[in-house]
Structure 1
């Protein structure tokens, strides 16, 4: 039975974005292990029959000594576990895991880049982005690289990756049975932003749009600050907004299908994404979407089709788009229906899982190589 090992920074992220894939891999005959920081979700992972190996990893910062320690600890772990294939999820695990795989002699590697991250956002980066690019070139030296949108595919290609090693797979997919449409609720329309509460998600623009549309709708934030991210909105700012009356803050919610179905319009004015899962979930729930003409966002929302696109950072354009959908309930319902259609046909979880399982099968079937999946992938 081939051993598949996931490396994910946080257990909650694994449950939200990769648990269904791991269970499908287990059902397909893989012995599945996840290496992650253990928090409140580790027992749910174990309950699904997946081994959990606790591992603490920093989420940000490039302190050379700290990074080297993480790589060495993980390389030792890989030598002990002897994985047939490792799947690194998100930017830091891709870097740390890729370097550790080199040290441990693991050549069957899948590197899933779920968006290029804080350092690659327009207007940021500088030396940090340059260092990350250098580390990525080294970390991505073997195996397949999964990206979620064409812009990230081009960015990876610029790092020197052969096109045959790059796979475009649309995010984590969405469970279209669980996320199903319900009629719009009665009463004052609800305009919702549901995500980690980061400035990079366009939270500031959302608040400004709400100020420009007083009394037209109930503007709602769903989610929590993320203190581990330098772009996090602090809780005191959130409290001030609620006291001002400009927005309601519902906090994090477990039942996202019911939460999204409580909205009339779902917004994500993000600066850059891989492929935003919340937009796919909103589409599956039949909700019209307002988002930005940014990488990842425009790959699941087509302007005038299943939602509206606005320029990044433009609160006035965001308010105008929201106003258009508030003024035309028939339009937003048509867009919602079209979003549901696209979610089922293009972004269903089953489609994503099958594409990824095919990648695993190709990897373990190929003879050992040192460079990866161009014609198959390597072995340990």
Structure 2
């Protein structure tokens, strides 16, 4: 009984019944909605969770779509971002024990996902992130397969030769033979899928991530809530505290800025994870211009506290957090990861620096912008203009258009 309960949760929301689309009964049969979509996600945290939450909300607003959400059990699920308000907008929610690591547990996850998808009987199975993408695409059925990697794993420059060969083989085979479309969230990722993984261009669709403008606290309110000085230049970081996100680099940048005597520059670090492990320094050795704030609910609302947003990541697909910073009109300094140049450089909303562990240029850029408020103000105005091209509405329109084109191909 417990296993069954963990496997599937059917959410019934009587108070939402009038606002949710329902099947229309015709005689003994049921004429269902025009489109039934199963969203399968394993890494349901951070930018992927934000993407799923926006996708569910926007699909529901459009109407005419049944939304069936398959999410992981345990710590891989962020119940703050994908909260009850999001789950309530799904027709069904299914919880499966999907794990990040590759292992024998995947056979159990696959079997349960296979049964789950055949129960839903969707028109489209849209999987998100590598593990969910592999499991879902191995599930044979009459549906169309759409996969969004959100940074295909082989973009990771720190993979060993064996890992790169293994994951490249898996992604390549599934991409060529078990994917109707792969959605790349940046031009760089699309080129990697085609050039490195040898996936035909016809199977790749580039759809940039998009965000909705969120209500923000005022700068004064946000800084008071976070305990940040009102007269400081605040450099923000929001993301998982781990090696990929370059938290160790950020700490070295902060120390570099401190050594320059720029005592009015503060680094605010927000996100889940172990800061000590990610940064490689103990709490006592952390520069005194760094404020570790931890994971905060509704982190988007606090972006107004930042004068500059920093992203020292080692690899990305198209960092969702950059769009959130841009939506908050915050200038950006980012390493050259996928999507950064086509967003930051093209839209003149910040500066892209080399993606390397020597943080000198990163620190130089922060130091210059910290002392040039007029430059930051110009970048902020560019953010306000550019965000219209990266809206959640545009992202959903292009995604639904893809769904419909695939169904026409099927017919």
Deviation at 1:77, TM superposition (A): 2.0
Q: TM-score, normalised by structure 1?
A: 0.85
Answer yes or no: is 1:174 the counterpart of 2:211. yes
Which among 66, 78, 99 is matched to residue 58 of structure 1?
99
Question: What CA deviation, in whole Å up to 9, does each residue of 1:7-65 have, x standing for no partner?
Answer: 011555565212222233234311111011245346333322441101111113x33x3
* 2:169 aligned partner: 134
Contact in 2 for aligned 1:34/1:53 (Cα 8 Å): yes
| Aligned equivalents of 1:44, 1:11: Cα separation in 2 | 16
Contact in 2 for aligned 1:111/1:145 (Cα 8 Å): yes
CA-atom RMSD in angstroms? 2.6
SS at match of 1:213: helix
| Aligned equivalents of 1:124, 1:156: Cα separation in 2 | 16
Answer yes or no: is 1:203 the counterpart of 2:247. yes
* 2:203 aligned partner: 165
Answer yes or no: is 1:323 the counterpart of 2:364. no
How many residues are aligned here? 355
* 2:190 aligned partner: 153
Q: How does 1:44-83 map to 2 (within 5 A)?
A: 44-60=85-101, 62-63=102-103, 65-83=104-122
| Aligned equivalents of 1:153, 1:233: Cα separation in 2 | 35
* 2:159 aligned partner: 124
Contact in 2 for aligned 1:242/1:248 (Cα 8 Å): no
* 2:266 aligned partner: 218
Contact in 1 for aligned 2:56/2:86 (Cα 8 Å): no
Unaligned runs of 5+ in 2: 1-32, 224-229
Q: TM-score, normalised by structure 2?
A: 0.79
Deviation at 1:162, TM superposition (A): 2.1
| Aligned equivalents of 1:181, 1:354: Cα separation in 2 | 31
* 1:7 aligned partner: 40
* 1:16 aligned partner: 50
| Aligned equivalents of 1:179, 1:114: Cα separation in 2 | 26
Deviation at 1:303, TM superposition (A): 7.7
| Aligned equivalents of 1:106, 1:314: Cα separation in 2 | 51
Alpha-carbon spacing, 1:289–1:31, altered in 2? closer, same or farther (3 Å):
same
| Aligned equivalents of 1:307, 1:200: Cα separation in 2 | 21
Which among 327, 340, 343 is matched to residue 284 of structure 1?
327
* 1:377 aligned partner: none
Q: Larger radius of gyration, structure 1 or 2? A: 2
* 2:398 aligned partner: 355
* 1:108 aligned partner: 144
SS at match of 1:16: helix
Deviation at 1:120, TM superposition (A): 3.5
SS at match of 1:5: strand
| Aligned equivalents of 1:51, 1:221: Cα separation in 2 | 36
Q: How does 1:178-327 map to 2 (within 5 A)?
A: 178=215, 186-214=230-258, 215-225=263-273, 234=277, 240=283, 244-302=287-345, 305-312=348-355, 313-327=357-371
Contact in 2 for aligned 1:11/1:42 (Cα 8 Å): no
Alpha-carbon spacing, 1:176–1:182, altered in 2? closer, same or farther (3 Å):
farther
Unaligned runs of 5+ in 1: 227-231, 369-380
Question: What CA deviation, in whole Å up to 9, does each residue of 1:306-356 have, x standing for no partner?
Answer: 111111123111110000101111001111211221112x21111111111
* 1:89 aligned partner: 128
| Aligned equivalents of 2:256, 2:161: Cα separation in 1 | 35
Contact in 2 for aligned 1:35/1:53 (Cα 8 Å): yes
